[in-house]
Amino acid sequence: MASIARIATNGFMSSPKSSSAAQRLRSIQRQFSTSPAMAAIEIKKLGVVGAGQMGLGIALVAAQKAEVQVTLVDSSQKSLDKGMAFADKLLSKDVSKQRITQEIADATKKRLTPTTQISDLSDVDMVIEAVPEIPSLKQQIFAQLAEICPKHAILATNTSSISITKIAAATTKDPTDTSASSRVVSTHFMNPVPVQKGVEIISGLQTSSEALNTAVEFCKKMGKIPSVSADSPGFLANRILMPYINEAIICLETGVGTKEDIDSIMKNGTNVPMGPLTLADFIGLDTCLSILEVLHSGLGDSKYRPSVLLRQYVDAGWLGKKSGKGFYDY
């Protein structure tokens, strides 16, 4: 956590072990940074856009641990209903296992307000967007958020791989006006949000130290352990994780091992809770493909090329756990 303390004062992490490329990237970011170091703002009301597996988890943990009011927006009423039913199930399970009291469960539920109207985010202090990993969709949402949300609101994205700088640029037609783009930052939560402690905080070229520090402090209030990374394709977590998953799929595709053997050797040999193919099913194969495409096009190295088999699974609609079929049946 020492590095986080440094971020809170300097706005950026510095490490004597940084590679020269990373130092170059950070110095470019500092050069373009639009504001002097500023303290975090207090978040009383949060908006979450997208009530899928990530958005619902973020909304639930924010309502329970950070004790803030949460407006949960989804364009699909069906997704909202499914999400709220899942929230009920998770809270009841926590009560039955005596992890929380019934009063805490009731208070958490009361703080969640589901809606299909994005215009309901006109009174929030911060928004976390968690819609599907489609660049044009995220850009469209951020253009709307810049219009709808109060002028002090921090606009965060849960993107797994899309450039924060590019998302921030969508908040304005005038790139010299950074009044909205400077409030854009990434809070990249890990799945499942109620369980995983880690969260990656990423700043784009336009991100202010106020936005970065607010994201760090709010994630800590949610009981998470933030790490900061630069705006580079895949950031840290997926830059490392996705080539691993892709290689496991290539091993399956080329007959190096069965899905069970691939998962078994990694689970039992590297002490991870699940093998790479199970993990891919759990993340969503469409999400894995989108991230690999961003890594491949963004870094231009053939080592990030998504496997043919992954593309075929996505084409077949076999997206993993969420669609009932992926490398395994659910």
Ligand X SMILES: NC(=O)c1ccc[n+]([C@@H]2O[C@H](COP(=O)([O-])OP(=O)(O)OC[C@H]3O[C@@H](n4cnc5c(N)ncnc54)[C@H](O)[C@@H]3O)[C@@H](O)[C@H]2O)c1
Binding to ligand X by residue 124, rule CB under 6 A? no
Work out which of 133, 210, 217, 263 binds ligand X, going by CB under 6 A: 133
Measured CA to CA, the distance from residue 276 to residue 247 in angstroms comes to: 9
- Name the catalytic one among 163, 229, 238, 246: 238
Measured CA to CA, the distance from residue 111 to residue 103 in angstroms comes to: 12
* Six token digits for residue 37: 């170091």
CA atoms lying within 13 Å on the CB side of residue 122: 4
| Contact call for residues 49 and 73 (beta carbons, < 8 A) | yes
- Is 75 catalytic? The answer is no
Binding to ligand X by residue 130, rule CB under 6 A? yes
CA 293 remoteness from chain centre: 17
Give the residue at shortest CB distance from ligand X.
52
Please say which residue, 88 or 177, places its beta carbon nearer to ligand X.
88
- Is 238 catalytic? The answer is yes
Over the window 78 to 117, marking each residue x when it contacts ligand X by CB under 6 A and - when it does not, the resulting string is: -x--------------------------------------
Q: What is the DSSP letter of 116?
A: S
Binding to ligand X by residue 131, rule CB under 6 A? yes
Please say which residue, 41 or 248, places its beta carbon nearer to ligand X.
248
- Name the catalytic one among 163, 182, 186, 188: 188
Paired residues of 46 in beta bridges: 70, 126
Binding to ligand X by residue 280, rule CB under 6 A? no
End-to-end CA distance of the chain: 39
Work out which of 158, 165, 213, 232 binds ligand X, going by CB under 6 A: 158
- Is 296 catalytic? The answer is no
| Contact call for residues 83 and 74 (beta carbons, < 8 A) | yes
Dihedral sign computed on CA atoms, order 291, 294, 299, 305:
positive
- Is 268 catalytic? The answer is no
Work out which of 46, 60, 70, 73 binds ligand X, going by CB under 6 A: 73
Select from 7-15, 152-160, 178-186, 218-226 the region that touches ligand X (CB under 6 A): 152-160
Where does the chain have alpha helices with state H? 2-10, 20-32, 53-65, 77-96, 102-110, 135-148, 164-169, 209-221, 237-253, 259-270, 276-283, 285-299, 308-315
Binding to ligand X by residue 160, rule CB under 6 A? yes
Measured CA to CA, the distance from residue 89 to residue 250 in angstroms comes to: 37
Please say which residue, 74 or 210, places its beta carbon nearer to ligand X.
74
Which stretches of the chain bind ligand X, using CB under 6 A? Answer: 49-55, 73-76, 79, 130-133, 158-160, 188-189, 191, 283-284, 287
Task: Enumerate the active-site residues.
Answer: 160, 188, 200, 238
